[in-house]
Structure 1
Amino acid sequence: MTIEVPHQPLPIDQSDVRYAHGPDSVAQPGVAPGETIEFDWNDNDSGVYPGTSRKFWVHVPAGYDPADPASLMVFQDGWWYLDPAGEVRGATVLDNLVHRGDIPVTIGVFVDPGVRPDAEDPKNRNIEYDAFDDRYARFLLNEIIPEVTKRYSVTEDPERWGICGGSSGGNCAFTAAWLRPDKFRRVIAFLSSFTQMPGGNPYPDLIPRVPGKPLRIFLQAGHRDLRWNEPEGNWLASNLRVAAALAEAGYDFRLVLGDGGHSPNHGGVLLPDALRWMWRSDGG
């Protein structure tokens, strides 16, 4: 089937482009809002990241039925991705798409990065998100998600577990699924900071060398992302190299390249389409 895309003139200046949100990112008449519950997670609770504290939120769409286990979607940078007045508006998007039947009933888990109140640098975000190891995946699987599953009925099918993030949260999402495809098989990664990973971006060389993993991956990159025209530490080039490696290795992936800089705007606007594509039932 051929899909005709309406003509849209390209902006001449790519440095300051803003995308308009679509109707799926706005509360709609007739769509009942889901329930959002806030949790505190403190240093006594965490075995993976001791000394940290954080908040996380669980959003349950109105269509949730305990008799029918829900899909699961984890979002890094929790409040940024949950905030109904922000760029991503994750809970609003989930409510609209679930209501219309575009995606299965999906519980959203929005997890803030940790902070270490007594440390010289209290932010634990880059330590958690940029690492190439399974600590963050273990943190989710052993600490956060059990708090969700003891309250709500969630499927154990990894084909219905997804993870989403942007910037360092994007490579965090990719790494969690890459190392634990037995749990997370759907990935959305916006403007990923692969170039910030200690030791460099491992994926362009790694992806073609190992047996394929059962992942479906949605990537978004920006023409004017950080250091876009520099030979080292280039966010744009690093994302394109990951996309090329996925293509050469035959992965089920999609890359959307937009204008603008290192902003969550374009990824946030794309979230409804990314979720629809990620949860599609056909092989397109």
Structure 2
Amino acid sequence: MFVNPGIFPDAENPKNRNNEYDAFDDRYVTFLLTEIIPQVAERYAIAQSPERWGICGGSSGGNCACTAAWLRPDKFRRVVGYLSSFAQMPDGNPYPDLISRVPRKPLGIFMQGGHRDLQWNEPQWNWLAENLRVAAALAEAGYDFRLVLGDGGHSTNHGGVLLPDALRWLWRPNDD
């Protein structure tokens, strides 16, 4: 299923994407689990095992996907984050510190980054650098993750091409 961010038609800035997707809290994942997924489950069979559940997003949606799985690994165990905009999270990128200081969560994470993503050559708000920091923290903590870098900027082109590979990698057979 695909969920678009909320809008406020009469507001000066009608898009609510950044408020919903960049926040590091449980509001969005709670919304999915209490409002959206139950409606879908009324019409379609949905696997109950968190090993079968994944969440995906790009840019701010990549933040949202990571946060949903981080806060609710009892529901979401597979994450695809394309060009995640960790650099613009309101209180800063919490992941490098969190990943290093809490017990490892049962997550599989596929990350895609662009070598020339937003502010790629700037000392602050550098989207590439923040994705690399998250990847380094995941590596140091022993997570099952994969990072694929492309030479592009902030575009869906590279991530779109990688989606089949990301899904195969996340749901690959294992020895268990």
TM-score category of the 2 structures, normalised to the smaller one = over 0.9
> Which residue of 2 is the match for residue 262 of structure 1?
154
Instruction: Output the amino acid matched with 2:22.
Output: D
- Quick check: 1:116 aligned with 2:8? yes
SS at match of 2:109: strand
> Which residue of 1 is the match for residue 73 of structure 2?
181
SS at match of 1:230: coil
> Which residue of 2 is the match for residue 12 of structure 1?
none
For 2:41 and 2:172, how far apart are their aligned partners in 1?
Answer: 24
| 1:186-215 CA distance string (max 9 Å, x none) | 000000000110110010111010011000
For 2:89 and 2:76, how far apart are their aligned partners in 1?
Answer: 20
User: Alignment length, in residue pairs?
Assistant: 175
SS at match of 1:175: helix
> Which residue of 2 is the match for residue 164 of structure 1?
56
> Which residue of 1 is the match for residue 103 of structure 2?
211
- Quick check: 1:248 aligned with 2:140? yes
Residue 118 of structure 1, CA deviation: 2.1
For 1:280 and 1:254, how far apart are their aligned partners in 2?
Answer: 13
Instruction: Output the amino acid matched with 1:225.
Output: D
Structure with higher helix content:
2
Structure with higher strand content:
1
| 1:28-49 CA distance string (max 9 Å, x none) | xxxxxxxxxxxxxxxxxxxxxx
| 1:120-139 CA distance string (max 9 Å, x none) | 21100000000000000001
Instruction: Output the amino acid matched with 1:282.
Output: N
Instruction: Output the amino acid matched with 1:275.
Output: L
Give every structure 1 segment of 4 or more consecutive aligned residues whose post-TM-superposition deviation is greater than 3 Å. none
For 2:2 and 2:100, how far apart are their aligned partners in 1?
Answer: 32
Superposition pairs of residues 30-109 of structure 1, within 5 angstroms: 109=1
For 2:117 and 2:83, how far apart are their aligned partners in 1?
Answer: 7
Instruction: Output the amino acid matched with 1:184.
Output: F
Give unpaired runs (5+ residues) of structure 1: 1-108
Residue identity (%): 79
> Which residue of 2 is the match for residue 153 of structure 1?
45
For 2:101 and 2:80, how far apart are their aligned partners in 1?
Answer: 22
For 2:14 and 2:63, how far apart are their aligned partners in 1?
Answer: 21
SS at match of 1:163: strand
Q: C-alpha root-mean-square deviation of aligned residues, in Å?
A: 0.7
For 1:166 and 1:262, how far apart are their aligned partners in 2?
Answer: 10
Q: Could you say which structure has the larger radius of gyration?
A: 1
For 1:230 and 1:120, how far apart are their aligned partners in 2?
Answer: 30
Give unpaired runs (5+ residues) of structure 2: none
| 1:201-241 CA distance string (max 9 Å, x none) | 01011101001100000000111000001000000000000
> Which residue of 2 is the match for residue 273 of structure 1?
165
